[in-house]
Amino acid sequence: MAAPNPPNIYIRPFCSNATLTYYWDAPASGTAPTSYNLTVSGPGGGTCNVLSPGYYTVSGLTNGSNYTSYITSSNTNGESTPVYYRNVQPGTITNPPITPSVSAVGSTVTVSWEPPSTAPVATIEWYIITDTRDSRRFNTEGFKSTITIANNALGTHYYTVQAVNDPGYSTRLSTSAVSVSLPVSFTWNTFKYTVVNQTTVTSSNNIDWDAYATSGSTSLSNGFVITANPAQANLQSMFGLATSSNPGFPVYNSMPHCLYTAANGTLYQFDSGSLGSNFGSYSAGDVLSIEFVGSNMTYKQNGTTLLTKTVSPNTALYLCCTAGISNATYSNISFNYL
């Protein structure tokens, strides 16, 4: 008669504080085993003989040490070939990673984090990053602290980061929201404006709200955001959306959605030539944006919503800058699909 076949094992032992628990079933065919020999190699390990299938817990082990283990079936006819368990480390579940953050460039997102503040007693094997918007899951090695994820859907995303070691999974920590957008390609159309580069324009001399810089022949009617930074705190200029790529005088009469950076350092709503809400002060470098999604037109300053109004999403709109003084500059101008 032949020796028994090897047992069927659950390849990953259960890991806890200074202990490892091994699981297996009797072989599905062949002669019946009368016992099983479990060998655990590592500090405090050894070989033990177990009479019946099921599980066996080995204690008194060293947390954070690597253990190699295998098991055989045996009876009076001999011993089977060994089957090996996954190499593991006993210990406790790791603390979560800290300070997760996220940034986006177009449809590509980068998620970053720091290792747990307290070093785990069992090595972190990998991190799990989950996009909570669509439940996509990504893994990366435990020695890394960043991952780049391409081809994200347009819109707002949150990501969670979770550390994993042999004893188990840490709690999840969430990043702040990140907006995924795609740039709109356009060529500037200007009058009394200088295009410094694709993202920066400056008003010329001898102007009186007749100057403009628009997105040329490129317009959108919904699902986009425009963004710019005022380069000075006394601009006396406007940034927003116009109904024409060649607006008449005064330009702001053709801008139904507009933020006015006034010479006194105050930021106003200024729609279709009418002074609206006073939003308080602004500073050079502030991020000003107007976002149009669905029927909502939203004005923001440094990510904070200033005003949301309901509009009809059926009018072609052009990115537009205008000024009442020379050398008024907007930088980091962007026009993006959402």
Average pLDDT value for residue range 35-46:
96
Task: Give which of 26, 10, 121 is closest to 69, Cα–Cα.
Answer: 10
Q: What is the pTM of this model?
A: 0.67
Domains in the chain: ranges and CATH: 8-84 (2.60.40.10), 98-180 (2.60.40.10), 183-337 (2.60.120.560)
The per-residue pLDDT for range 149-171, each reduced to its tens digit, is: 998 888 889 999 999 999 999 99
Residue 285 pLDDT > 80, yes or no? yes
Q: How far apart are CA 289 and CA 173, in angstroms?
A: 29
pLDDT at position 179 is 82
124: left (phi over 0), alpha (psi -120 to 50) or beta: beta
Radius of gyration of the chain (CA): 32
- Parallel, antiparallel or unpaired: strands 83-84 and 78-79: unpaired
pLDDT at 180: 86
Tell me the per-residue pLDDT of 61-85, one tens digit each, with 9 for 90 and over. 999 999 999 999 999 999 999 999 9
CA distance 247 to 249: 7
Q: How confident is the model at residue 182 (pLDDT cuts 50, 70, 90)?
A: confident
- What confidence score (pLDDT) does residue 230 get? 97
Beta carbons within 10 angstroms of residue 142's beta carbon:
17
Determine the Cα angle at 14 with ends 13 and 17, to 5°: 125
- Residue of higher predicted confidence among 239 and 208: 239
pLDDT above 80 (res 94): yes
| pLDDT at 129 exceeding the cut of 80 | yes
pLDDT at residue 190, rounded to an integer: 96
Is 142 a residue whose pLDDT tops 80? yes
DSSP string, 119-175: --SS-EEEEEEEETTTTEEEEEETT--EEEE-SPPSEEE-EEEEEEETTEEPPPEE-
Instruction: Give the pLDDT score at 320.
Output: 97
Task: Indicate whether 60 pLDDT > 80.
Answer: yes
